Amino acid sequence: MPALSAVRSNDNLSPLAAPRFACGWYETLPKPTAPRVAEGDLSFDMAVVGAGFTGLACTRRLAELYPDARIALIEAERLGAANSGRNSGFLLDISFYEDTTPAIQAAKTRLQEAGLCELDRVVREQGIACDWQPWGNLYGALGGEDEVLLDRMGERYRDAGKPLERWSAERMAEVTGSPRMRRGIFHPGTVLVQPVKLTRGLAATLPANVTLFEDSPVTAIVPGDGGYRLRTARSRIAVERIFLCANGGTPTLGPGKHRLLPVATFAAMTPPLASDGPLADTGPFGLLPVLPGGATLRLTQDRRLIVRQGAAFAPNGHPSDADLHRFLDEAGRTLALHWPALAQTAFEYAWGGVMSLTRNNAQLFGEQAPGLFVAAFCNGAGNTAGTAAGKLLAELAAGEESDLLADQMSLPSPTRLPPDFVNGFVVRHRIAQAKRRLERLYTAVDHPSPIQDGRRQA
């Protein structure tokens, strides 16, 4: 069996077209109009830095709580171009981490459920078109270690008192079109979306007292005059209070230094599949992995397959092209493994994003200095967890109290990391371990490689 990286690059029978290294969710939508860039000396009552899910939820709640305040939402890139638009589009109502206590897990679940409820409310009230698809958490096992982990995952749902269906191989094949999985489990609740449509829709429907600036990275935060001054390349913005929701961009502005582990993960998207070809009878779905390093798979409403897979240490905050190339080989292998008839299908787009992980699965949350509020590092379930954290950050600033805010405050804070070279070594080692486990699993699953498939057809 060839190594994970060898399968696609050795494919000299029908060389596959190279994908564009760009986010497919973003590129397949109409181009946005020219951005409003922050320029000159500006003054606002409050500024939210970062327009991902966390910043968008924080801004909306601030605008509701302070309808007379002038609020700036300042984003470094175009809306939806950063992680909140680059992700797999699962609005997870629950997700499990192995090294979390039951109390913390329960608090995280309540927060994710609340984040999903909030997104549901806004999408419905504002009529946001974002391919909203009520779905669930569907996990499938290919065999071997995957089945052991699937059982363990099932136990966690049972222990948490969450409803769970057990799916046979036939049911998995019927729903995903993949004949490879031995069985699966399904928990209803999670919603699938087109994440760029959702982030754009959330921004477009913010209350009128919000001004959005894009392409305006904040380069410094300076205390002064009873508030703060934010600097961008072309502006100085005076504000009374700041809400820092910049995720991986947070430590360069102060809070969270030496606490962030930037780990890139990658995604690739096919062109729309032919309506009379493989998967013709399969509806849109989302499939989550149980094996660390395994693939997240989606068939979108416009019938594109998306493979999210792989990890790479990204100390400078960006995935490298070399990592993206390695990922493409792995993604091609995954595609061929699940859907042999699609082994020769080229991806149209491939991209990476950087997850803001911490050593202890923790988040930064709270008032870090007078008038400087932070919500960051919501990790793998940030679409819902970040939405909850952003909303609660606004409520914390307004002096509100609630059980949910108590849940958020009960989560651990990120612990300090060892020096960079140690982090790099540990993270790369863990990623290599996860890759070996996946390789063992794929090798154990009896399947023809895409190359053999091609030879057979030739």
Ligand X SMILES: Cc1cc2nc3c(=O)[nH]c(=O)nc-3n(C[C@H](O)[C@H](O)[C@H](O)COP(=O)(O)OP(=O)(O)OC[C@H]3O[C@@H](n4cnc5c(N)ncnc54)[C@H](O)[C@@H]3O)c2cc1C
Of 84 and 449, nearer to ligand X (C-beta) is 84
CB 315 within 8 A of CB 422: no
Is 56 exposed, middle or buried (CB count within 10 Å of its CB: 0-12, 13-18, 19+)?
Answer: buried
Shortest reach from residue 378's CB to ligand X, in Å: 5
Of 232 and 449, nearer to ligand X (C-beta) is 232
Query: Which residues make up the interface to ligand X (CB under 6 A)?
Result: 49-55, 74-77, 82-84, 86-90, 92, 217-218, 245-249, 253, 265, 267, 308, 353, 355, 378-384, 386
Who's near 185: CB < 8 A, 6+ residues apart? 138, 139, 150, 153, 154, 157, 164, 165, 166, 167
- The one-letter amino acid at 424: G
Q: E strand or H helix at 210, and its extent?
A: strand 210-213
Of 249 and 450, nearer to ligand X (C-beta) is 249
Place of tokens 């979390």: 100
Of 77 and 131, nearer to ligand X (C-beta) is 77
Shortest reach from residue 193's CB to ligand X, in Å: 9
Of 187 and 447, nearer to ligand X (C-beta) is 187
Of 56 and 181, nearer to ligand X (C-beta) is 56
Query: Distance between CA 414 and CA 258 in Å, rounded?
Result: 9
- The one-letter amino acid at 45: D
Shortest reach from residue 284's CB to ligand X, in Å: 14
Shortest reach from residue 54's CB to ligand X, in Å: 4
Q: E strand or H helix at 86, and its extent?
A: helix 83-86
The number of CA neighbours under 13 Å toward the Cβ of 254 is 19
Of 72 and 451, nearer to ligand X (C-beta) is 72
Distances (CA, A) of 54 to 60, 336, 427: 10, 36, 26
The DSSP bridge pattern shows strands 183-192 and 165-168 to be antiparallel
Shortest reach from residue 264's CB to ligand X, in Å: 7
Give per-residue burial for 95-126: e unless 16+ CB within 10 Å, then b. Answer: bbeeebeeebbebbbbbbbbbbebbeebbeee
